């Protein structure tokens, strides 16, 4: 049995924030898995679901981000679920927006939700689904914490349904195949064949026509900023 936890902050004020993408993902997973209605317990909202062919539990801690462990630990204990069967979905500054990556174990990288879970559970040996939100652009005014506690912009919101589907696909793959197999599939990058690589190489060497449309500039990011949670 898996315990799938989406991290976020409770309340309408935070509902659309980047920091709440874990909450959004659990809600998407609940709809896709036709989970039971969410109920209040473990200082959070939880639901039973069938993930693939396996029973599972979905949880949204209502403790605020930096106390997430106070919700996760009693849920693990109640359902007698080992930490290795815990899957935590969280926002990740160090991945570009839209990237979804699986990771098992490791540190908290300054994410206060992970920090709290590790403190209460007593280990970092659990699965994470890291949902990239990117770092703030050079023109962003405020701290990194202000960035994650701000809403997705219009372009990002238009992409969220596809990103949340990637997240739910990843969780269902973990349930069906186990974490290692799911990670090998989901974290793999498709490799270009020789023909495609040659075409790209030739395209880079070819002069651009004078009337070609300029590529859209990508916003720069501020390197080296410390990762902060709520």
pLDDT tens per residue across span 108-163: 999 999 999 999 999 999 999 999 999 999 889 899 999 999 999 999 999 999 99
Express each pLDDT in 30-68 by its tens digit. Answer: 999 999 999 999 999 999 999 988 899 999 999 999 999
Q: Is 147 annotated as a binding residue?
A: no
The number of angstroms, rounded, from the C-alpha of 180 to the middle of its chain's C-alpha atoms is 18
CB under 8 Å to 77, separation ≥6 — which residues?
Answer: none
The catalytic residue among 17, 19, 108, 111 is: 19
66 is in an annotated binding site: yes
Beta carbons of 51 and 4 less than 8 angstroms apart: yes
- 64 marked among binding-site residues: yes
Q: Give catalytic status of residue 19 as yes or no.
A: yes
Q: What is the pTM of this model?
A: 0.82
């Amino acid at each position: 049995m898996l315990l799938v936890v989406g991290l976020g902050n409770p309340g309408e004020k935070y509902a659309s924030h980047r920091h709440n993408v874990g909450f959004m993902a659990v809600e998407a997973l609940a709809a896709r898995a036709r989970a039971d209605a969410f109920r209040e317990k473990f200082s959070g909202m939880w639901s039973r679901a069938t993930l693939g062919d396996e029973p599972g539990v979905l949880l949204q801690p209502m403790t605020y981000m930096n106390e997430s462990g106070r919700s996760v630990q009693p849920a693990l204990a109640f359902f007698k679920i080992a930490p290795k069967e815990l899957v935590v979905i969280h926002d990740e500054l160090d991945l570009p927006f839209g990237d979804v990556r699986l990771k098992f174990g490791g540190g908290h990288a300054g994410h206060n939700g992970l920090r709290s879970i590790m403190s209460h559970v007593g280990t970092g040996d659990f699965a994470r689904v890291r949902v990239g939100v990117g770092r703030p652009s050079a023109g962003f005014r405020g701290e990194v914490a202000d960035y994650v506690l701000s809403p997705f912009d219009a372009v990002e919101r238009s992409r969220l349904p596809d990103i949340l589907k990637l997240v739910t696909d990843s969780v269902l793959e973990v349930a069906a195949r186990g974490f290692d197999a799911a990670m090998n599939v989901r974290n793999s990058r498709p490799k270009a064949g020789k023909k495609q690589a040659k075409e790209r190489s030739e395209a880079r060497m070819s002069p651009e026509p004078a009337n070609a449309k300029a590529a859209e500039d990508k916003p720069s990011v501020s390197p080296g900023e410390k990762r902060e949670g709520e």
